A and B are shown apart, each in its own frame.
Chain A
């Protein structure tokens, strides 16, 4: 399966050691800028993060920044893509590559929640700030949500004990799960509230109930 974000990322300048400029440092610089953008957004939000703040955190010059990105929005979109791509890789390692689909969903969700608890700043970029940073970022967020929608939709192959399923079901499920996570990130996870990991049984139930019904074995 080819993802649009992969395809687009391959066209970006300065990617990896074989960048068009031939500068072996370019890839590292780009990585540093994206990591810095992630931190800046976690601290100040999309609106509050500035190019000035990002280059300072990254330890590069403004000129270097503009060698890689046209502006802040493009940089934040790239930071989002990088975060999603790395999370996708984590989920790919955790979830079995072959069916049963139910195990893929369970392990995928488990890994997702663990990733969020391990890096709440990144989760904040992807699940909260991505909806606050303008149209380009919002479109990336929607595309990422659609990947979840497509994965959930595979469950229809199981047939459903619930009978007829509404067409918008998987969009609603993905939107519902994302909204549960966003609220916990906005209210501050960690500390007394514990991490999002405690949502695991409920999230599995929400994802699998439409296809399996009430007797969902949560832990498989």
Chain B
């Protein structure tokens, strides 16, 4: 699990359990540590059981905190999921931008950003499933959050000029539906290490106007 420390440091920070009893640490630090542990525990529990079957007890167990502590931080499973989703989403966006900044010309920046995306997911398939597959099974507020996340990634892949309005919306959605389908199928096939080999296909789909004229 050392690889996760490289890919999602904040989540990994939750792995170290504080010793019980008085440890002289500031209350805020303890609370933050517990919260991080809970987010990580949720990702683990969801990876094992799927979102719908995951219980608070299971999350608490995977986080090595009590159910009471869970409820001190979150009202319920959905709130906890959304908090973890926020953390991962920020990381995905940052990784894609770090790989190719806004000054990089299109389509070169698409290649860098997609490579960063695939690299991130291939190193941590549990996070990949959590981010790309579970929201489709969860529905509701979580599905809405997922739609926003996909919109953001689509914007990171867009050319400087292209279709606008409804056309841009449909183009973005079709592209993201396509990209995520290919990634999800690779994950479902138990081949996260093979994700980076999808890069040429994803670049083609994003830049050659295959689904839509650019």
Contact = CB atoms under 8 A, between A and B. Distances in A.
B211 interface: yes
Interface string B120-144: 0000000000000000111100010
B200 to A, nearest CB: 7
B177 A168 contact: no
Contacts of A134: 50, 52
A176 interface: yes
A103 interface: no
Interface stretch (A3-11, A31-39, A201-209): A201-209
Interface in A171-219: 171-180, 183, 186, 199, 202, 205-206, 209-210, 214
Contact of A210 (B170, B175, B210): B210
B68 interface: no
Given A176-B175, A179-B174, A131 B137 contact: yes
B201 A209 contact: no
Interface stretch (A13-21, A50-58, A65-73, A159-167): A159-167
A134 B134 CA distance: 11
Nearest to A207: B211
Interface residues of A, number: 34
Interface string A120-151: 00000000100110100010001001000000
Interface of B: 50, 52, 136-139, 143, 147, 167, 170, 173-182, 185, 188, 198, 200-201, 204-205, 208-213
A158 interface: no
Contacts of B170: 180, 199, 202
A118 interface: no
A175 B204 CA distance: 16
A109 to B, nearest CB: 13
A89 interface: no
A172 B211 contact: yes
B211 A209 contact: yes
B177 A175 contact: yes
A205 B212 contact: yes
B56 to A, nearest CB: 16
B139 A172 contact: no
A210 B211 contact: yes
A27 interface: no
A169 interface: yes
A60 interface: no
Contacts of A168: 182, 198, 201, 205
A209 B213 contact: yes
Nearest to B144: A186
Contacts of A186: 139, 143
Contacts of A167: 201
Name the residue in A165, A199, A205 with the highest tally of chain B Cβ atoms < 10 Å from its Cβ. Answer: A205
A162 B50 CA distance: 40
A179 to B, nearest CB: 3
Nearest to A180: B173
A142 B179 CA distance: 15
A96 interface: no
Nearest to B182: A168
B115 to A, nearest CB: 16
A180 B174 contact: yes
Given A166-B205, A199-B170, A209-B209, A179 B182 contact: no
A173 B211 CA distance: 7
Contacts of A142: 185, 188
Given A132-B52, A180-B174, A205-B212, A175 B182 contact: yes
B177 A128 contact: no
Given A47-B52, A176-B211, A178-B181, 13 more contacts: A132-B136, A134-B50, A142-B185, A167-B201, A171-B181, A172-B201, A172-B211, A173-B174, A173-B211, A175-B180, A176-B176, A176-B181, A202-B167
